[in-house]
Amino acid sequence: MEIKAVIVDDEKHSRETLKNLVEQFCDGISIVATAASIKDGLEQIGKLNPDLVFLDIELQSGTGFDLLEQVGEINFEVIFTTAFEQYAIKAVKFSSLDYLLKPIDVEELQSAVKKLHQKETTKEYQQQIKILIENLKQQPKLNKICLSTALGFEFIDVSEIIYCNASGSYTSFVLKNGSKFLVSKHLKEYENLLIEHFFMRVHNSFLINLKEVKKFIKADGGYIIMSNNDSVSLSRSKKDGFLTAMQHLVN
């Protein structure tokens, strides 16, 4: 089934470039319209009912997020586009949504397109967008994160995470309520997202919530007891930084 797509971008060159890339390298996707503003974008979306919208984050008439708030029920998928690694991109990552940095790389475009859900999980996708908008309103702190698991999406408060554990190319999340979720992303990606929320990489395999540290044990080279009584390894090279961070947290 052919995917109908709309491009919303206030730069003519960007619209034409993306349209050409999609038509040349993305089979099964048809660009049915382009728009240069929020108003035009809303009109095209309402008229054409697309399956996919390529949405520029920064528009002269506002932001792509403003468009999403005004569109009502979101029954299409979104791939954000932007020329800047900005705060908004972090919010997009927190919601497990896709984005493309300009100038757009063909392989990244193809990879984003391959992930399209085709509306099979509409309620979950709408929740992802909702969390994105909520997080943007809470800036600079992002309060909720969307975890993409084998079973679907989990929407959790960042404060509920006790620690994250690397398992090869996967990351395991351990929560206060005892739940555990396995996500097919590297721990490094979550380190970059959570570092501003009092999370610290204390070992190659562990990213911990410093607010959930219960004890530091000096024996056996030093290790950490978390609030759920799990033991977490502490790298020798991270020890001083960990103790300093904890000192700042309690003072």
Long-range interactions of 212-220: CB distance < 8 A, separation 24+: 212/161, 212/162, 212/163, 212/176, 213/246, 216/242, 216/243, 216/246
CATH class of the 144-250 domain in this structure: mainly beta
Task: Categorize the per-residue pLDDT at 143 as very low, low, confident or very high, splitting at 50, 70 and 90.
Answer: confident
What is the pLDDT, as a whole number, of residue 119?
45
Which pLDDT value is given to residue 139?
61
Of 39 and 251, more confident: 39
Contacts of 68 (CB under 8 A, 6+ apart): 55, 74, 78, 129, 132, 133
Average pLDDT over residues 185-206: 92
118 pLDDT more than 60 = no
In the chain, DSSP finds a helix count (H) and a strand count (E) of 8, 17
Place of tokens 């035009």: 40
Residue 138: which pLDDT band, with cuts at 50, 70 and 90? low
Stated length of the chain: 251
What is d(CA 111, CA 70) in angstroms, rounded to the nearest whole number? 28
Q: Which of 101, 89, 100 is nearest to 136 (CA)?
A: 89
Residue-wise pLDDT for 147-182, tens only, equals 988 888 898 999 999 999 998 889 999 999 999 999
What is the DSSP track for 195-224?
A: GGGTEEEEETTEEEEGGGEEEEE-GGG-EE
Residue scoring higher pLDDT (127 or 108): 108
Give the up-direction half-sphere exposure of residue 31: CA atoms within 13 A in the CB hemisphere: 19
Q: How confident is the model at residue 89 (pLDDT cuts 50, 70, 90)?
A: confident
| Percent above pLDDT 70 for the chain | 94
In angstroms, rounded to a whole number, what is the distance separating the alpha carbons of residues 28 and 111? 14
pLDDT higher than 50, residue 14: yes
State how far the Cα of 2 lies from the Cα of 12, in Å rounded to an integer: 25
**Domain spans, the chain:** 3-137, 144-250
Q: What is the predicted pLDDT for the residue at 136?
A: 79
- Please report, rounded to a whole number, the percentage of residues in the chain having pLDDT higher than 90: 61
pLDDT (average), residues 117-132 = 72
Please state the rounded mean pLDDT for residues 188-208.
Answer: 93
Q: What does the mean pLDDT of the chain come to?
A: 90
Residue 52, helix vs strand vs coil: strand
Q: Are 41 and 32 in contact (CB under 8 A)?
A: no
CB neighbour list of residue 111: distance below 8 Å, 6 or more residues apart:
none
Secondary structure (DSSP) of 125-193: HHHHHHHHHHHHHTTT---EEEEEETTEEEEEEGGGEEEEEEETTEEEEEETTS-EEEESS-HHHHHHH
3-137: in CATH 3.40.50.2300? yes
pTM of the model: 0.67
Structure confidence by residue, pLDDT tens digits, 97-113: 889 999 999 999 999 99
